[in-house]
Homo-oligomer: A and B are copies of this chain.
Amino acid sequence: MENKKKSTIKDIAAVLGLTPSAVSKALNNHPRISEKTKIAVKEAAIQLDYQPNYLSSALRKGKSNLVGVIIPRVNSHFFSSVVENIEKVLNLNGYNIIMTQSNELYVKECQEIDTLLKIQVDGIIASMANETTNLEYYQKIKSKTELVLFDRGEEELNVDYVGIDDYKSSHLVVDHLVSQNCNRIAHIAGFKHIRIYKERIRGYKDALEKWNLESKENWIIESNLRLEDGRRIMQQLLDSSERPDAVYVAGDIAALGALQVLLENNIKVPEEIALIGFSDEPFTSLTQPSISTVNQHSDQIGKLTAEAFLERMKNPKKKTINRIILEPELIIRQSSNRDLK
């Protein structure tokens, strides 16, 4: 670091023969300060390369203008896109975000929460880790600051939430598969204790019922939805006595694993087994065959989450909870489109 001490309002005051408070008010456009001094102060500020001391103003105002964002993984298009859009909106409103990742680990998530609370963020926007079942730390957030959840959230926390209609997503998927003449549809699911995965499972079952299709319990396999989970479970399905003719995977990465196993076993996709993933990760359009998937509108989720947060900040005492549920969109690609062939 080269030595260059930052200038303060004191320095500006000294240069202009004013008091620090006059300078502070001028910079904040206080109505009682004359235009003339305001201009003079602002010019001097530029001259002296003045940067307001964030710490002191945050301390005085009791407001940091920082928002913590906790996501499970940064290394996913969905989450990084949501964060990008949250950031865009919040930046325009004078907030800066601190992005942290839980790596899907409960312990890490708790650590991150403690850190953010320590830093005194003005609020936290989060999507919960797969592992998280104990909501104690989220209650802690609620007791100290504002909380808005997206995608992975629990209703019992009773906070603003933005996500898609997971139940309906499954209907879209199953309806499409049925239209492709599939009638033995398996579901590689996420853990039931997480609301979104529970909803997808519920939608899957109801949709099967709607079409009078059998809903076999051992065709719903819960997992962490990592690549290796997709591989393992797909292999398991192939080895089973009755093979499905379609597999609906609750996550794209696991779907990729499943596809690898299918191809390795020389199974024709979608002719023998159709495959559908979830999230519209970019790679789904790059595989051979490309993978059908459900678009979760990450950009919209990010934007709406940020707006819900801003709304909450304006009105912290508001009792009503805002739950925004977006319409999912099924993206049909080669892995489930038998008409193409």
B-binding residues in A (CB < 8 A): 1-2, 4, 6, 51-56, 58-59, 64, 66, 74-77, 80, 84, 91, 96, 98-101, 103, 111, 115, 117-120, 142-146, 227, 256, 260, 263, 283, 286, 288, 316
Contacts and interface: CB of A to CB of B under 8 A. Distances in A.
A145 B101 CA distance: 26
B2 A143 contact: yes
Contacts of A119: 54, 66, 96
Contacts of A98: 98-99
Protomer copies: 2
A75 B80 contact: yes
Given A1-B146, A59-B59, 7 more contacts: A1-B144, A51-B118, A66-B119, A74-B80, A75-B77, A96-B118, A263-B288
B117 A51 contact: yes
A118 B54 contact: yes
Given A75-B74, A115-B96, A286-B227, A142 B2 contact: yes
Contacts of A99: 74, 98-100
A53 B120 contact: yes
26 contacts: A1-B142, A1-B144, A1-B145, A1-B146, A1-B316, A2-B143, A4-B143, A4-B144, A51-B118, A52-B118, A53-B59, A54-B118, A55-B58, A55-B120, A74-B74, A74-B75, A74-B99, A75-B76, A75-B77, A96-B118, A96-B119, A98-B98, A98-B99, A99-B99, A99-B100, A260-B286
A63 to B, nearest CB: 10
A253 to B, nearest CB: 10
B144 A6 contact: yes
